[in-house]
Structure 1
Amino acid sequence: MAASKPPSPAISPPSLSFPRATFAKLSPHPFLLAHLQPPTPPSANTTPPHRPNGRLPTQFRPPNLHTGSLTHASGSSVVRLGDTAVVCGIRAEILPASNVGCAYTCGGSDDDTEIQALGLLVPNVELSTGCSPAHLPGQPPSPLAQTLAARLQSLLYATNLIGADELRIMYVSPPADDAGEGGGAEEVKAWWTLYIDILFISLDGNPFDAAWASLLLALKDTRLPLAYWDPDLACVLCDDLVANAKRLRMRRWPVASTFAVYSAQERGSVGGDGAGKWILADPDAFEEGLCRESVTVVVDCEEAEGGGVKTRIVRLEKRGGGSAGKAEIKEVVEMATERWRVWRDVLKGNA
């Protein structure tokens, strides 16, 4: 009698679930919606709405920063927001008045239009190869880099961070006679031109906030040599002593906060936004690709009595979509004010 065969082990059916990374690539919109929209009806184990990166919709990425990283720059900074990392270096050069083509005299007033007219603040943005999969080697400057540079320059001029007197190199003529009479007139002989180079070494969403923060910190770190006009040589000379160098005086500290508006209605589908929408603070690259609309708020707050702050909106930019109304704008301004508090504490700790 033949021996019976042992029973074959039971074969479990293949799993129909995907890993998180695969689900996010195959169906990115439902993947994000599944995190933000709790099940109906809610159960006792329902987690609050959160994002795939673990943050709440209103939660920003904590800033990490360092200043003075570049030895051969007048000022520098490194800012990291999550996986977005940017380096900013400032190079100061002298612009002689003879190259401008017109004479300037100083009457004691601070002409803010002088900086813009002479182009004394020149930001440049570069998205380095490898900062994200979208930037390949050998490519010309991307539209994103050009747009960021234009937005940064516009905001620099609008906020008047630095007074024109900080960049002027003055000369006071000596007395005309032995009695000490005559002369004493102030004349602008040159200006400092600040070339602000911003390099992204890693880009995971929200490039403008990171670039603006690095610019602010690099300006705060900038030291300019003591420059003076030598009438005998008819040129501007600089003192070699580092102790005589001066720091730039910053007038204010406006902070930029960007928000993305995510709608449960997929992009390109028929229908309105009645299914729900969420405001995502400090969006990463995955969230930016799924949101139709973004809002950037730049606030410059002042500390008030009793521990409060007085909010002043410097700039408000809204791009794409049309679902963010007055209520949403009010909400993002309040969150931007709280973000200003965070940066205030960070800057004090870095002082």
Structure 2
Amino acid sequence: MATDHKTLQPLEFYKTFLDRKTRPDGRSLLEFRRMTLNAGSIGTADGSAIVKCGNTAIICGIKAELVAPERDEPQKGLIIPNVTLPSLCSSHIKSGPPGETAQAATQFIAELVNNNIIMDLETLCIKNSKWSWVLYCDLLCINLDGSLLDACVMALVAALKNLSLPVVSYDEEMDKLISNIEDKMGFHGIKQPVTSTFSLFENGILISDPTFEEEQLAAGVISITMEGTSVTHLYKPGGCTLNEKQVKKLMQQSELKTKEVVKLIEEACSPMGVEPID
């Protein structure tokens, strides 16, 4: 009978749980799902990480190349993200060209990158107007069950912190690059932003870390990106409005999650003989 109710009236079925301040998966309204992180698990990548947030799972692999910097920003390198949602990750994703969800996620990550929220792009430059690193960051979703942006940001930051590249310098007299493939380096300037997604329901109820189903049933979704206690980015694609009390509550929950995620990343990406450079 409960299954029929869920199928025929999914929102009404879900509201019976909200009225009891709980959710179908047993969590409280503001409880986040368990998160796991494994860095350096892809041997063919220059940096990698696998993240699970509940049932949502993301693999991030980074490949680096040396290129000439962009003419309008000769002192910066590039980070080029790409989020892929194959049809196997969810029954709601169709095969074919990137859909709206994948494109929106890629654009979200690109905004964080271009606003130096993820990393100081100047640290990727070797010689102004001559040489810089470009990092191709592929984020593959192997299972989609809500809070996609949270998992993508976490995986990208961890993969960047896992990055291991040959030491490269520029010789002014010879006008060429000199590299030492035996010596490896990472980068300073990698920040620790954490994205937290919440769903909003028309009756004013807020929930943390929504599943895919909860995102579909909600009146709106908001993703807050923080570094420490500072908000660095807000993403709210339409939906209902928030009052001051609700915003304050979401900030408090975001801070709690930020501390937990930063700890996970630091534990997974502890230095292993790779020397960071400025």
Please give the TM-score of this superposition, normalised by the length of structure 1.
Answer: 0.71
Counterpart position of 2:38? 66
Counterpart position of 1:247? 186
Aligned to 2:167, which of 197, 201, 226? 226
Counterpart position of 1:179? none
Aligned to 2:112, which of 127, 152, 155? 155
Cα contact 1:299–1:315 (8 A) shared by 2 = yes
Deviation at 1:61, TM superposition (A): 0.8
Q: State percent identity of aligned pairs.
A: 28
Q: For 1:29 and 1:101, locate their aligned partners in 2 and report how far apart those are by CA, in whole Å.
A: 52
Q: Does 1:190 align with 2:190?
A: no
Counterpart position of 2:226? 299
Q: For 2:195 and 2:73, locate their aligned partners in 1 and report how far apart those are by CA, in whole Å.
A: 37
Deviation at 1:347, TM superposition (A): 2.3
Q: For 1:136 and 1:149, locate their aligned partners in 2 and report how far apart those are by CA, in whole Å.
A: 17
Amino acid at match of 2:265: L
What are the equivalent positions in structure 2 for 1:94-243 lying under 5 Å apart?
94-96=66-68, 114-115=76-77, 120-137=78-95, 139-170=96-127, 189-229=130-170, 235-241=176-182
Amino acid at match of 1:135: I
Q: Does 1:347 align with 2:265?
A: yes
Q: Deviations over 1:291-338 (max 9, x none)?
A: 11111111111xxxxxxxxx2111122232224211111110111011
Amino acid at match of 2:115: A
Structure 2 vs 1, CA of residues 160 and 323 (structure 1 numbering), >3 Å: closer, same or farther?
closer
Aligned to 2:206, which of 279, 294, 315? 279
Cα contact 1:220–1:250 (8 A) shared by 2 = no
Structure 2 vs 1, CA of residues 143 and 286 (structure 1 numbering), >3 Å: closer, same or farther?
same
Structure 2 vs 1, CA of residues 160 and 52 (structure 1 numbering), >3 Å: closer, same or farther?
closer
Q: Does 1:336 align with 2:254?
A: yes
Deviation at 1:252, TM superposition (A): 2.6
Cα contact 1:224–1:248 (8 A) shared by 2 = no
Q: For 1:283 and 1:101, locate their aligned partners in 2 and report how far apart those are by CA, in whole Å.
A: 42
Q: Deviations over 1:138-184 (max 9, x none)?
A: x11111111111110101222443334421224xxxxxxxxxxxxxx
> Which piece of structure 1 moves more, 224-233 or 312-321?
224-233
Q: Does 1:257 align with 2:213?
A: no
Q: Which has the higher contact order (CA 8 A, sep 6+)?
A: 2
Q: Does 1:288 align with 2:229?
A: no
Q: For 1:161 and 1:134, locate their aligned partners in 2 and report how far apart those are by CA, in whole Å.
A: 30
Larger Rg: 1
Q: For 1:211 and 1:231, locate their aligned partners in 2 and report how far apart those are by CA, in whole Å.
A: 39
Deviation at 1:238, TM superposition (A): 3.0
Q: Does 1:31 align with 2:3?
A: no
Counterpart position of 2:274? none
Give the 3-state SS of the residue equivalent to 1:69 in structure 2: coil
Counterpart position of 1:308? none
Structure 2 vs 1, CA of residues 101 and 205 (structure 1 numbering), >3 Å: closer, same or farther?
closer
Structure 2 vs 1, CA of residues 134 and 233 (structure 1 numbering), >3 Å: closer, same or farther?
farther
Structure 1 stretches of 5 or more lacking a match?
1-17, 39-48, 105-110, 171-186, 264-275, 302-310
Q: For 2:66 and 2:151, locate their aligned partners in 1 and report how far apart those are by CA, in whole Å.
A: 28
Q: Deviations over 1:277-301 (max 9, x none)?
A: 3101000011111111111111111
Q: For 1:164 and 1:196, locate their aligned partners in 2 and report how far apart those are by CA, in whole Å.
A: 14
How many residues align? The count is 269
Q: For 2:23 and 2:3, locate their aligned partners in 1 and report how far apart those are by CA, in whole Å.
A: 14
Counterpart position of 1:52? 24
Q: Does 1:316 align with 2:221?
A: no
Cα contact 2:37–2:265 (8 A) shared by 1 = no
Give the 3-state SS of the residue equivalent to 1:329 in structure 2: helix
Structure 2 vs 1, CA of residues 261 and 148 (structure 1 numbering), >3 Å: closer, same or farther?
same
Counterpart position of 1:178? none
Structure 2 vs 1, CA of residues 344 and 162 (structure 1 numbering), >3 Å: closer, same or farther?
closer
Structure 2 vs 1, CA of residues 320 and 96 (structure 1 numbering), >3 Å: closer, same or farther?
closer
Cα contact 2:71–2:129 (8 A) shared by 1 = no
